[in-house]
Structure 1
Amino acid sequence: MMKRSNKAKMMTAVLLSTLLAAGCSAKSTDTTTATASASETAVSAVQSGGSASAAAVQLAGLNATEKAGFKDNDALTAWSKDSSTSISLSASGASVEGSGAKAEGGIVTITAAGTYVVAGKLSDGQIVVDAPKDADVHLVLNGAQISKQDGPAIYVKEADKTIVTLQDGTDNAVSDGSGYSDTSEDAAIAAIFSKGDLTINGSGKLTVQGKMNDGIVSKDDLKMLGGTIDVQAVDDGVIGRDLFAVQDGSITIKAGGDGVKTTNDTDADKGFVAIKGGTFNITSAGDGIQAASSILIGGGTFDIVSGGGSAASTKTHQEQDPRGFGGGPQAQTATDDAESSSGKALKAGADIAIADGKFQVDAADDTIHSNANISIAGGQLVLAAGDDGIHADTTLSILNGTIDITTSYEGIESLDIAISGGKVRLVSKDDGVNVSSESNSSAAGGKGMTNTASGKLTISGGYMVVDAAGDGLDSNGSMVMTGGTVIVNGPSGNGNGALDYDGTFEQSGGTLIAAGSSGMAQAPSDTSSQRAVHMTFPGTLQAGTLVTLKDGTSKTIATFAPAKTFSSIVISSPELKAGTEYTISTGGKSTGTATDGMYAGGVTSGGTKIVTFTLGDKVTYVNESGVTTANTFGGPGGAGGRGPGGGRGGRPAGMN
C-alpha cells in the first residue's frame, strides 16, 4: 500500500466531496439531474442509517476537467508557415529553416520558445528541446518518423511546457533503441521523454515504440487532448509523474509493465489521473491504469486487459468449515496471497471516483482497487476479475450506474459499503458483497482479511443481484437495508450462507430475496421493523424451481426461481403484514415476466403447497411443519446454522 501524508488524504477527501456539482457542468441537463438525484439519495441513505465514513464517499463526485487543469495553450494546434520554424528530416540527417533551432547531423536542438514543424524520416536521430525553463514550445509533427538507436526519439531537457500537435491527416512515428548510451540513474528511459509538462493534441496519428523501457514519459504533467495514439512499450506505456489527464483522443497501449501510471506519491496535490473522455484500449502485464494519488473519471470508453485477464488468476474458492475453523476465503496458498506482480485494471493509492464512462475490463487481480475510497456515480461497467471485482480499503459507495461483475473471487469488498442506487449484478467464487478489512500483511505483499465489528453494509436503494459460491451478503460487522431490491443466489454448500453478518441486520424497507443452502443460513434481525419470512425446506431443491409466497387471499407476494440448488429462502417485502396467513409453494409454472429469477405479474399454477402459516410481528421462521424457531443447525440432514443475532453455535450432525 502506498503511504501518503495526512495532508494528502485530507486534500483528497475535500476534493472528492466538492467536485460533483462542478463536474456535471459540462454534461447535459438530464445527466446533471440524474447525478443530483443520486446525491440526494445518498444523503437520504446516510440519514436513515448509513455510516459517516460511507457518507463522505457517497457524496463524492468529480470534475476531471478541473483537476486536469487544461489551459488555453494545451489546445493550441494552429500554425502558419510564416510564423514557424521548419525542420526537415531525411536519410542524410536534418535541416532547419527558421530561428530557434539548429541541426547537427541527425540531432535537432530547439533552444527557444516558438512553433516548430517537423516532417520527414530520420532513421537514427533525435529532437531535443533545451529551451529556457519558462518557455512554451509548440512541436508540430507533420508526417514525421523519428528513430533513435541509443536514446529517446523526442527528448525535452528543459522547457516549461512542450505541446506536441499531431497534424490532421498525418501518420507520425517515434521509437527508441533497446540500449541507451546514457545509463545514469536520471537518464531518459522512454521513446518520448520530457522533464517538463507535456501536452499531446491534434487529430493525426502517432505510433510510439518504447524498445528500451517506457513509451511516453513526463516528469511533470502529461495531458492528451486528441489524436490517435498507439503505444507499445517493453515496460510502462505512458507515465505522467505529477498528472495524467485526458480530454479526448483514441489511445491504444500494449505494455510489458503498467499501461498508464502516475508516480508522485509525496505531494498532496499531485499524482492524479483525471480523464474527461477519450477511448482507451489497454493491454498490460501489470496494472492497466495506476495512480499514485486518485483516479477521477468523468467519461470515456475503456477496454482494459491487465495481468493476462481473469483467466490468469489461480485463486479458487475453498469451502469454509461450518464450525468457523480453517478453510474459507482466508485459507489461501502463499502463491495466491503474494502480490509481487499486480494485475489490477484501475488502481489508486488514494480515491477513485467514476461519474460516467463505458468500461469493459478483464483483470488477473482486482478490476477496480483503491487504497482509500471508491465512489461510483454513473457509467456502464462490465468487469471480470481474478480477485475482487471492486475493492476499497476504507469505504465504497455506489450511487448510480450499471455494474456487471461477470466473474470474481469476491465481488465487492470494503470496510464500509453503501449502495443507494444503480444496478449491480455480480458473480463470485467466494463472497458476493463482503464488509471486511485488509490486515497489515498487505504491506508485505500478502492480502489477509481481518474481521471488524465496526464495518457496515448499507443498502438504501438500487437493484442488486448476487450469485455467490461463498456468502452472498457478508458483513463482519452489521447490515442496514432501508430500500432497494436485493436478490441473492447464495451458496449450494452448507459452509456459507446467502446472508452472513456478525452484528445485526436491521431492515426497514426494500425487497430482499435470498436463497441458498440452509447450513449457515441467516435472516434479518428480529429487531427489524419490516417483516420477513425464513423458510427451510425438507430437502434440497433444484435450480430453477419456483418458490411462491401468497397471502390468504391468493395474492402473490413473491415468485422466485433460484439460479442454483437451494434448501432455504428469505423473503422480506413491505407487503408482508403481521397476523396475516401466508402459503409457500414450490414448483409449477408462472405466466409472469421473469427478471433475474423474480417474476412480475401473471399467475403461478401446478405448484405443490409446502406450508401455510401466520406471519408474526418479527422475522418468522418456517419449515414444512409450520412456524418454528430460528434456524440453529437445522436443514436437510441436520445442517448447521446461526441464530438471528448472527452468532454461530452448535455443530452439524456427524461433526465431532
Structure 2
Amino acid sequence: MKKSPAAPSAPGTRRFGVQACTYRVLPFLVTAALLTGCTAVAGAAESTGTSGTSASATAAVAVDTSTTAAEVLAANQQTHDDATDYEWDDADVVAITLDGDGASIDTETEDSPSEDTGAVTVSGSTVTITAAGTYELSGTLDDGQIVVASAGEGTVRLILNGVEVSNSTGAALVVSEADEAMIVLADGSSNSLSDTDSYAEDADANAALYSAADLTITGTGSLDVTGNGNDGITSTDGLIINSGTVTVTAVDDGIRGKDYVVVDGGTVTVTAGGDGLKSDNAEDVTRGYISLTGGTIDVTAAGDGMQAVTDVVLSGADVTVRSGGGHTATGADDVSAKGLKSGVVTVVDGGTLSVDAADDALHSDGTVRIASGEVTLAAGDDGVHADTALDIIGGSTTVTTSYEGLESTAISIGDGTVSVTASDDGLNASSGSTTTAQGGGGGMDSDGGETITITGGSTVIDAGGDGFDSNGSATMSGGTLVVNGPTNDGNGALDVNGTFTMTGGTLVAAGSAGMAVSPETGSGQTFVAISLDSVQDAGSTVQLVDGSGDVVMAFESIKDFQSVVLSSDELTDGETYTVYVGGSASGEIADGVYADGDYSAATNATTVTAGVAATGTMGGGGGGPR
C-alpha cells in the first residue's frame, strides 16, 4: 500500500528527497522594465541556440521592485512535481536483472505488475516496460536498451541500482510513452548510460537518456550519462533533478527539458559540445524556462552555459558556468557562447553564481534582475546585458573582467554591492540605436531615452572607456558611486548625453580631463568638478578642504587621473574649497573614498567652487553607443 506523503516512512517504504512544489499557473510570463513604478511592457524576445533553431515569446506582466524569483516562476507553467511520486512500498517493486545481452524478471514479487499484466518483456537485449509501477534494475546491458512504453495513467518509476547500459544503435534508456517517469538512483549505487555515436536526422529518441514524458531524477546514488551522438539527457516535456549525483557528457546539449528544467538539489555536472542546460519550448510563453532552487551545478559548454526561451531563475543553487572556452577565448563568432541566457527574464534571487563566458556572462533578450545572492562574472563581451532593463536591488555582483560591464537600455541600482571592471564602458545605458555626434558635449549628443538610476547600494567601477555612460539621462539619489575612469582623453569617467540629476548619495568620479562631465547645476545636491594642471599618478590622494581647514572628502585613485568630480551632502553649493594632492586619507567609507585626511605634507593644487560644471578640454560628452 502506498504511503501518504504526510505519513512517516514505515518499514519497507522508501522516500527520496521530497520537495513540495509551490508554483502556481498564471496566464502570463513576467517581463518588462525592472524599474520602480514601471508599467507593463509587452514585447517579443528571440533566442537562438547552437542548433540554429529560433524561438520567440511574448510577455505582458511588469516586473517591479516587489518581484521575486517565486513570483516570476508563479507566472509559468506548474511543474509536474508531486510528493506522492517519491514514495512506494517495497512489496510492489519488480526486480529486473540485466545480464549482459539480456535480462531476467523476478515474477515472485508480491503484487508484481509483470506477474499480473505482463508489463515487462525481454526481447534480446531490449527490456520493455508497459505499465505504471516501480521497477528495480541492476546489472549490465552491453549493447541494449531499456524502453518505457506505458499508455496508462500513473508514474513509471525505475530504481537504478548498479545499472550499466550501452547502445551502439540508439538511446540507452527511452521513455517513449508514460503519464510520468521517475528515475531513482538507489543509495550508494553507481549507474551509467551511453548511446550511439550517430543518429538519423528524423530519429525520435536522440539522447542517451530520452523521455517523451515528464521526467524526474532523484535518489542518493550517482548517474553518469554519455551522449555520444547528440544530447545527454532530454525530456520533450518537463525535467526535474531533485537529488543525486548526475554527471553528463554530450557532444551537443547536456541536459534539455523542452517545457522546463528544474534543479532542486543534488550535484549536477555537465560537459557539453553545445549548450549545457537548455529549455526550448517556444510555443507557450509559460514554458521554456530554467529554475535552479538548490544543489550544486557545474557546467562547461562550448555553446551557452544555460539557455532558456523564456526565463532563467536562480534562487538557491550554487552554480558555476564556463561557456565557449571562457572570457579569453577567441574566434567562433557564429556560435552563441553566453553564460546564462534568457529570452524574456533572468532573475538571481539567492544562491551563488560564477560565470566565465566567451560572450556575455549574464544575458537576457528582455530583462535581468539581481535581488540577492553572490554573483561573480568574467566575460569576453558584457558582464551583464539586458536588452530592456537591468535592475540590481541586493546581493553582491562582481564583474572581474569584461568588454563592457553592465549594459541595458535602462540600468537601475537600488541596493547591494556592485564591482565592475571593463576594458570599455563600465555602466552603459544604450539601446544600440542612439546617434551620437563625435566630440561635442553638453547637448551635441542626442538623448535616446536610455536611463541610469542609482538610489542605493555601493557601486565601484574600473573602466578603460567611459566609466558611467548613459546615452540618455542619469539620476542619483542615494548610495555610493565610485568611478575609476579612463586614462585617455577620448572617454570620460562620466558621460551623460542628456541630464545628470544628483539629489543624494556619494559620488566620486576620476579619470582623464578631455571629456569631463559633471551633474546638472542646481539639481538638488551640489558637486565640485576638479581639473588639475597635469596627470596625477595612480595611488595619489586628492583631498577637498573647506574654508575652516577641515577635510570634507578624500580620494585615492587606483589609476592615473587629471579630473575628479565629487558630490555628497557634506558640500555646500557656492562655497569655495581648496584641493590638495598628496598626504594621507583615513576613515574609508567606500573603496578609495575617505571621510578625513592629513594634508600637512600635501601640495595645494587648486581651488574649486561647488556647483560649477566641469569643462573638458575636448568639450565633454562623447562616447556614444557601440
Per the normalisation by structure 2, the TM-score is: 0.85
- 8 Å CA contact 1:141–1:167 kept in 2: the answer is yes
Could you report, residue by residue, the CA deviation over 1:230-262 in whole angstroms, capped at 9, with x for unpaired residues?
A: 000011100000111111110000001100001
Q: Which residue, out of 602, 611, 620, partners 2:612?
A: 620
Give the C-alpha shift of residue 595 in structure 1: 4.6
- 8 Å CA contact 2:391–2:413 kept in 1: the answer is yes
Alpha carbons of structure 1 residues 51 and 12: separation in structure 2 relative to 1, 3 Å: closer
Give the C-alpha shift of residue 596 in structure 1: 2.0
Give the 5 Å matches for 1:184-583: 184-313=201-330, 339-438=333-432, 453-583=448-578
Amino acid at match of 1:152: A
Amino acid at match of 2:619: G
Give the C-alpha shift of residue 121 in structure 1: 1.2
Could you report, residue by residue, the CA deviation over 1:38-70 in whole angstroms, capped at 9, with x for unpaired residues?
A: xxxx9xx847xx898798343332117755745
Instruction: State which drifts further: 291-300 or 578-587.
Output: 578-587
- 8 Å CA contact 1:383–1:404 kept in 2: the answer is yes
- 8 Å CA contact 2:395–2:417 kept in 1: the answer is yes
Q: Equivalents in 2 of 1:74, 1:498: separation in Å?
A: 55
Give the C-alpha shift of residue 525 in structure 1: 1.3
Match of 1:153 in 2: 172
Q: Secondary structure at the match of 2:95?
A: strand
Give the C-alpha shift of residue 186 in structure 1: 4.2
Alpha carbons of structure 1 residues 542 and 52: separation in structure 2 relative to 1, 3 Å: farther
Amino acid at match of 1:203: T
Amino acid at match of 1:551: D
Q: Which residue, out of 56, 69, 76, partners 1:62?
A: 69
- 8 Å CA contact 1:57–1:395 kept in 2: the answer is no
Q: Secondary structure at the match of 1:82?
A: helix
Structure 2: gaps of 5 or more residues: 1-24, 42-60, 108-113, 435-444
- 8 Å CA contact 1:591–1:604 kept in 2: the answer is no
How many residues matched? 558
Match of 2:110 in 1: none
- 8 Å CA contact 2:280–2:308 kept in 1: the answer is yes
Q: Equivalents in 2 of 1:419, 1:592: separation in Å?
A: 25
Match of 2:197 in 1: 178
Amino acid at match of 2:270: I
Amino acid at match of 2:460: V
Instruction: State which drifts further: 406-415 or 71-80.
Output: 71-80
Give the C-alpha shift of residue 566 in structure 1: 0.7
Q: Secondary structure at the match of 2:303?
A: coil
Q: Equivalents in 1 of 2:99, 2:27: separation in Å?
A: 53
Amino acid at match of 1:96: I
Give the number of the structure whose residues are more often strand, by fraction.
2
- 8 Å CA contact 1:253–1:283 kept in 2: the answer is yes
- 8 Å CA contact 1:9–1:268 kept in 2: the answer is no
- 8 Å CA contact 1:354–1:375 kept in 2: the answer is yes
Amino acid at match of 1:245: V
Q: Percent identity?
A: 42
Alpha carbons of structure 1 residues 507 and 133: separation in structure 2 relative to 1, 3 Å: farther
Give the 5 Å matches for 1:22-101: 46=36, 56-63=63-70, 66=74, 69-70=78-79, 73=82, 76-98=85-107, 99=114, 100-101=119-120
Give the 5 Å matches for 1:571-610: 571-593=566-588, 595-601=590-596, 603-610=598-605
- 8 Å CA contact 1:57–1:396 kept in 2: the answer is no
Q: Equivalents in 2 of 1:57, 1:385: separation in Å?
A: 27
Alpha carbons of structure 1 residues 413 and 647: separation in structure 2 relative to 1, 3 Å: closer
Alpha carbons of structure 1 residues 73 and 106: separation in structure 2 relative to 1, 3 Å: farther
Q: Equivalents in 1 of 2:142, 2:605: separation in Å?
A: 81
- 8 Å CA contact 1:378–1:400 kept in 2: the answer is yes
Q: Equivalents in 2 of 1:107, 1:65: separation in Å?
A: 39
Per the normalisation by structure 1, the TM-score is: 0.81
Compute the RMSD of aligned alpha carbons. 2.5
Could you report, residue by residue, the CA deviation over 1:142-196 in whole angstroms, capped at 9, with x for unpaired residues?
A: 111111111111101101210111111111111112134xx25242110000111
Could you report, residue by residue, the CA deviation over 1:313-353 in whole angstroms, capped at 9, with x for unpaired residues?
A: 47xxxxxxxxxxxxxxxxxxxxxxx8410110100011111
Q: Secondary structure at the match of 2:456?
A: coil
Q: Secondary structure at the match of 2:372?
A: strand
- 8 Å CA contact 2:543–2:597 kept in 1: the answer is no
Q: Which residue, out of 146, 153, 164, partners 1:134?
A: 153
- 8 Å CA contact 1:313–1:365 kept in 2: the answer is no
Q: Secondary structure at the match of 2:384?
A: strand
Q: Equivalents in 2 of 1:144, 1:235: separation in Å?
A: 24
Give the C-alpha shift of residue 95 in structure 1: 1.3
Instruction: State which drifts further: 592-601 or 474-483.
Output: 592-601
- 8 Å CA contact 2:30–2:62 kept in 1: the answer is no
Alpha carbons of structure 1 residues 539 and 530: separation in structure 2 relative to 1, 3 Å: same
Match of 1:443 in 2: none
Q: Equivalents in 2 of 1:421, 1:133: separation in Å?
A: 52
Give the C-alpha shift of residue 601 in structure 1: 4.7
- 8 Å CA contact 1:518–1:641 kept in 2: the answer is no
Give the number of the structure whose residues are more often helix, by fraction.
1
Q: Equivalents in 1 of 2:542, 2:209: separation in Å?
A: 63
Amino acid at match of 1:94: A
Amino acid at match of 1:457: I
Q: Which residue, out of 123, 128, 145, partners 1:109?
A: 128
Alpha carbons of structure 1 residues 557 and 192: separation in structure 2 relative to 1, 3 Å: same
Match of 1:29 in 2: none
Alpha carbons of structure 1 residues 438 and 186: separation in structure 2 relative to 1, 3 Å: farther
Could you report, residue by residue, the CA deviation over 1:589-613 in whole angstroms, capped at 9, with x for unpaired residues?
A: 2354485222345544411111234
Q: Secondary structure at the match of 2:30?
A: helix
Q: Equivalents in 2 of 1:51, 1:583: separation in Å?
A: 46
- 8 Å CA contact 2:480–2:590 kept in 1: the answer is no
Structure 1: gaps of 5 or more residues: 1-7, 18-41, 315-337, 441-449, 622-629, 635-639, 649-656
Could you report, residue by residue, the CA deviation over 1:354-390 in whole angstroms, capped at 9, with x for unpaired residues?
A: 1111111100000100000111101101100000000
- 8 Å CA contact 1:309–1:363 kept in 2: the answer is yes
Q: Equivalents in 2 of 1:481, 1:51: separation in Å?
A: 21
- 8 Å CA contact 2:582–2:599 kept in 1: the answer is no
